[in-house]
């Protein structure tokens, strides 16, 4: 490939001469690290036409053939793990150790869980008096974010391919270079022409035409709640199937018997990992009034472990935000919190003595439900502490959100923690710091989205179910 990367359509990298480009900048230092062609509706038309033409043959392949291809994809990610990690660090700032394990490692684990789901899938079964047949939904438009770009690509691409769908992928324009590596891997493993296309560009140029395209049968989108609403509205014009994984403002409930140090470390890890750019991050912590002072002292002491640094240094736990734009957004949230009367315990607006899109990991206390920091997703390393008097009040505070993506409960008694977890209106809940389980369904309640990703539930999102009445005996 040339310094500028063209679209990947029909198994080939497209021309770049004379095209508008999107430059990709390293958020740690502002250096140019690559560029991709800025696509438009004509590029989407070509990619969708290729995917539509390839769909019948791909849908007719056997499950063992699809599994073999996705296994080869996972092996390709492992083979290129270092290249992918270095690319992700350069384009979105993930610390190199985190990029190797959480960014690339989780993507590989995603595929393993999806393959396991596909192996256990029953394509035909008798239900009542009918033969129920699972079939691929068709051509899928996949729009992925910049915070965990490879992870999100694999959740969508792996599940769709295993289901027998063809895919047109629009990666984030902020972090598109890892998707180019994926295109190289697809070529290496011999993905049939047209089965996967990668079209680079922004939302207006590529995202909107892809969502609106009449030959796209399903749209799967991960991103902000506002853009997700726009995707759902546009897709509804052609009654497409839609899967949305949107934002969160997730709460961690610290019960009165929880170990302080363990809960502090678990909450800070959830809130500050990936520089807080995690949709399921626990960014609100609810602490019993009698424990609050001790918990806050422990949090202030523990924040030193999250000092921002060079993402290429293996010792760095927190790198820059993914862009200067995101830095400005996060600082604005911090400014609003101070104006609303939240008490700053650590971090804040003071700039760091280093170039790049860095912010200080920040903790606020005395946060109340009327404050924006209690309700709005920051997507940065900012934690809000709210005290509660009774467990019923804590549960009410946790559920007092338009979002419902994640949550956490800490207690010395796991059975008690489970009882509280069952009251939370959210798609996932971790007990005592339990993190992402790639084999379990991931997704949200309320305005955190529609549908699920990962494992068998994520695989099934890309299927349609046909009932053939009177044919149960033929299953």
The residues assigned a catalytic role are: 245
Separation CA 137–CA 125 (nearest Å): 18
Separation CA 93–CA 304 (nearest Å): 20
Rg of the chain over CA atoms, in angstroms? 23
Q: What are phi and psi of 36, to 5 degrees?
A: -130, 155
Instruction: Name the residue with tokens 């509706």.
Output: 41
SS (H, E, C) the chain: CCCEECCEECCEECCCCCCCEEEEECCCCCCEEEEEECCCHHHHHHHHHHHHHHHHHHHCCCHHHHHHHHHHHHHHHHHCHHHHHHHHHHHHCCCHHHHHHHHHHHHHHHHHHHHHHHHCCCCEEEECCEEEEEEECCEEEEECCCCCHHHHHHHHHHHHHHHCCEEEEECCCCCCHHHHHHHHHHHHHCCCCCCEEECCCCHHHHHHHHHHCCCCCEEEEECCHHHHHHHHHHHHCCCCEEEEECCCCEEEEECCCCCHHHHHHHHHHHHHHHHHCCCCCEEEEEEEHHHHHHHHHHHHHHHHHHCECCCCCCCCCECCCCCHHHHHHHHHHHHHHHHCCCEEEECCCCCCCCCCCCCCCEEEECCCCCCHHHHCCCCCCEEEEEEECCHHHHHHHHHCCCEECCEEEECCCHHHHHHHHCCCCCCCCEECCCCCCCCCCECCEECCEECCECHHHHHHCCEEEEEEECCHHHC
Tokens at residue 410, please? Answer: 């800490």
Q: In degrees, to the nearest 5, what angle opens at C-alpha 1 toward C-alphas 48 and 210?
A: 20
Tokens at residue 401, please? Answer: 């959100």
Q: What are phi and psi of 21, to 5 degrees?
A: -125, 160
Q: In degrees, to the nearest 5, what angle opens at C-alpha 103 toward C-alphas 435 and 417?
A: 5
Separation CA 246–CA 250 (nearest Å): 12
């Amino acid at each position: 490939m040339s310094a500028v990367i063209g679209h990947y359509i029909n198994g080939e990298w497209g021309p770049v001469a004379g095209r508008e480009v999107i430059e990709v900048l390293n958020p740690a230092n502002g250096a140019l690290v690559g560029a991709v062609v800025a696509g438009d509706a004509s590029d989407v038309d070509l990619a969708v036409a290729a995917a539509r033409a390839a769909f019948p043959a791909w849908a007719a392949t056997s499950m063992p053939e699809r599994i073999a291809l996705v296994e080869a994809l996972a092996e390709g990610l492992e083979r290129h793990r270092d290249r992918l990690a270095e690319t992700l660090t350069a384009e979105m700032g993930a610390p190199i150790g985190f990029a190797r394990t959480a960014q690339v490692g989780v993507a590989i684990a995603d595929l393993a869980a999806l393959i396991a789901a596909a192996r256990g899938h029953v394509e035909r079964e008798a239900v009542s008096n009918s033969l129920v047949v699972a079939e691929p939904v068709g051509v899928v438009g996949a729009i992925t974010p910049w915070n965990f770009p490879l992870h999100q690509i694999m959740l969508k691409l792996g599940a769709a391919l295993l289901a027998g769908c063809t895919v047109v992928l629009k990666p984030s324009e902020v972090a598109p270079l890892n998707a180019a590596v994926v295109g190289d891997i697809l070529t290496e493993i011999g993905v049939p022409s047209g089965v996967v296309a990668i079209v680079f560009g922004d939302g207006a140029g590529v995202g909107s035409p892809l969502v609106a395209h009449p030959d796209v049968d399903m749209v799967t989108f991960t991103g902000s709640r506002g853009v997700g609403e726009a995707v759902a509205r546009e897709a509804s014009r052609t009654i497409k199937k839609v899967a949305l994984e949107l934002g969160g403002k997730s709460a961690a409930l610290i019960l009165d018997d929880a170990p302080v140090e363990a809960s502090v470390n678990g909450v800070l890890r959830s809130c500050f990992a990936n520089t807080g750019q995690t949709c399921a991050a626990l960014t609100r912590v609810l602490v019993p009034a009698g424990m609050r002072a001790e918990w806050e002292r422990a949090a202030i002491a523990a924040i030193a472990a999250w000092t921002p640094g060079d993402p290429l240094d293996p010792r760095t736990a927190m790198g820059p935000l993914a862009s200067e734009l995101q830095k400005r957004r996060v600082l604005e949230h911090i400014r609003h919190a101070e104006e609303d009367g939240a008490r700053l315990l650590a971090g804040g607006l003071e700039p760091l003595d280093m170039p790049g899109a860095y912010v200080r990991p920040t903790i606020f206390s005395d946060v109340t439900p009327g404050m924006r920091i209690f309700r709005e997703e920051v997507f940065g390393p900012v934690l809000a502490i709210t005290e509660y008097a009774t467990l019923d009040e804590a549960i009410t505070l946790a559920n007092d959100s338009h979002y419902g993506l994640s949550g956490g409960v800490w207690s010395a008694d796991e059975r008690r923690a489970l009882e509280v977890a069952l009251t939370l209106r959210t798609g996932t809940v971790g007990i005592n710091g339990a993190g992402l389980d790639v084999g379990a369904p991931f997704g949200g309640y309320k305005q955190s989205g529609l549908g699920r990703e990962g494992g068998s539930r994520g695989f099934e999102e890309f299927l349609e179910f046909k009932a053939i009445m009177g044919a149960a005996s033929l299953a």
